[in-house]
Amino acid sequence: MSIYNKIVTAIDDCNLDDYLDLLHDDYVFVRHQSNQEISKSEWTPIVTGMFNAMKEGKLNFRNNRCLYENDDILVIHNIGNFPDNTKEAIMAVHTKLNDKIMKTESGVTRLD
């Protein structure tokens, strides 16, 4: 199964452990707002909160599309509906290493 399918399944099932298992031990998330790099240990509490919000129906990602995936990269586009009633189009680029996600960079466009 592709990493894309595993990500979508983890999100659809609200399965945090399956999502975290997709991340390399040296994983880095790059914040699109500040270009700040966040380690896996720093990202885990943030994404835990996101998964909790999804379980509560306060956050969802829809219209998931895989734009491209090979052994080195995965590019995903979706729409995020957030607890503050904002909506964003999200482009996420995941760099892959040994069937794990090594780095994620995203860009968003707010949808009003």
User: Cα dist. 44→20, 21, 64, 77, 110 in Å?
Assistant: 8, 11, 22, 22, 24
pLDDT of 13: 94
**9-65 pLDDT, tens digit each:** 999 999 999 999 999 999 999 987 788 999 999 999 999 999 999 999 999 999 999
Structural domains in the chain (count): 1
User: Cα dist. 91→20, 29, 55, 88, 98 in Å?
Assistant: 19, 13, 23, 10, 22
pLDDT of 89: 96
pLDDT of 1: 62
pLDDT at 67 over 80: yes
- Domain range for residue 50? 3-111
Question: What is the domain-level CATH number for residue 83?
Answer: 3.10.450.50
Average pLDDT for residues 73-87, to the nearest whole number?
Answer: 95
